[in-house]
Structure 1
Amino acid sequence: MLELKNFYKRKVINFLFKKLNFSSVMQVPRIEKVTLNIGDGSCNNSKKNLVSIISDITMISGQKPIVTNAKKSISGFKIRQGHPVGCKVTLRSNRMWDFINRFIYIVVPRIRDFRGFSIKSFDGRGNYNIGIKEQIIFPEINYEKIDKTRGLNISITTNTNSDMHALELLKSLNFPFKK
């Protein structure tokens, strides 16, 4: 399952080294971590929602998430400080490469009306964020067992500070970007 990691080591590093004119191989950008985050303010009202979110993100990532709590109270959203509002998981090393491989080649083709990811989703420091509207596009999720569809945020953190270098890295890993 680590074909993408081997592809990165064998082909992408040499390709980016030549294309971006680096003086050392250590300057070549690499992916450091992938963070998955599901937020749902209704966890306050029902612990069943929190258990469902934890179950979904565990199946998607293969790793147990941590619960995120509200930092401050917001009465308009009925959120109290310290109460759970979602969960997140950080993937590194082999699990990260496995997730990226499954995401590019299995999950993305299942997205309805997909035309490519926007190159405007970089944060200015070489990190890329993807928002998924429904968690049901992941094959690990059983459609009959979900109580409601939730969004998912995927943050890909790289070691470079340049959006252009990170874009070249993701393009060379076959990320489908808009033309």
Structure 2
Amino acid sequence: MSILENYYKKVIQYDLINKFFYTHLNEIPQLKKIILNFGCKHFEVRNIASALLSLELVTMKQGSLVKSKRSNILLKIRKGNPVGCVVVLKKNMMYTFLFKLLSDVFPSLKDFKGISVPKKLGVTSFSFTLKDLISFKELEKQFYLFINLPPLNVTLVTNTKTKEELLYLLRSFKLPLV
């Protein structure tokens, strides 16, 4: 059991029960999964391979390619061509990645003031983008391979029912929201 999972079970659940009203234990909000996504604008094997390798190094889980479902003339994408890669983290790996994000990556980012909360916030998920990926220690060692990485999209998926529950859950995990 990771540190954040233990913190969730011992502290956050009780805080949520005291703050909001629930009739069953199943209704208590929890973090379901984390989705990491790279979207590559131009189809080059080298860019997609470096994005897949960086996802695998950061998460310790093999990513999968995302292929385009339909062709787009403006973006010069044919149907079936790879356009990005994705990794879905659940359970223990999810909490391990979130702990790494909170303890290593966010403090090492330059001029980082926090993640801004959008005005149109979803009820069950929260997304943000990381542009400086060299702050991951795994990618820092092979810097020359990961120079031209696209921004990493991180989506935290929960089972909350209101925006207030979502923000309270994310803030209780000590996510730096502004």
Q: Do these two structures clear the TM 0.5 threshold for a shared fold by scoring above it? A: yes
Aligned counterpart, 1:22: 22
Aligned residues: CA RMSD: 1.6
Give per-residue Cα distances to partners, 1:49-69, cap 9 Å, x unaligned. 221111011111110011001
* Residue equivalent to 2:110: 112
Q: Return the TM-score normalized by structure 2.
A: 0.92
Worse-matched range after superposition: 153-162 or 69-78: 69-78
Q: Structure 1 unaligned runs (5+)?
A: none
Q: Which residue of 2 aligns with 1:173?
A: 173
State the one-letter code of the partner of 1:53.
Answer: A
- Report the 3-state secondary structure (helix = DSSP H, G, I; strand = E; otherwise coil) of the residue aligned with 2:138: coil
Q: Deviations over 1:99-156 (max 9, x none)?
A: 0111111111122211111222764222100111132221110323224132000000
Distance 1:121 1:25 in 2: 30
Which residue does 2:124 correspond to in 1? 126
Q: Is residue 114–residue 176 contact of structure 2 (8 Å, CA) maintained in 1?
A: yes
- Structure 1 ranges of 4+ moved more than 6 A: none
Check conservation: 1:29, 1:159, Cα contact below 8 A: yes
Question: 1:69: which partner in 2?
Answer: 67
CA distance in 2, matches of 1:58, 1:123: 29
Corresponding residue for 2:13?
13
Q: Does 1:143 align with 2:143?
A: yes
**Do the aligned residues in 1 keep the contact of 2:65 with 2:82 (CA within 8 Å)?**
yes
For residues 75 and 145 of structure 1, what CA distance do their matches in structure 2 show? 30
Where does 1:43-122 land on structure 2 (aligned, <5 Å)?
A: 43=43, 46-120=44-118
- The offset of 1:23, in angstroms, is 3.0
CA distance in 1, matches of 2:127, 2:92: 20
Separation in 2 of the partners of 1:59 and 1:95? 13
Q: Residues 2, 117 of structure 1: CA spacing in aligned structure 2 closer, same or farther, 3 A cutoff? A: same
Q: Give the distance between the partners of 2:120 and 2:144, measured in 1 at CA.
A: 35
Aligned residues: 176
Give the TM-score taking structure 1 as reference length. 0.91
Unaligned runs of 5+ in 2: none
Aligned to 2:160: 160
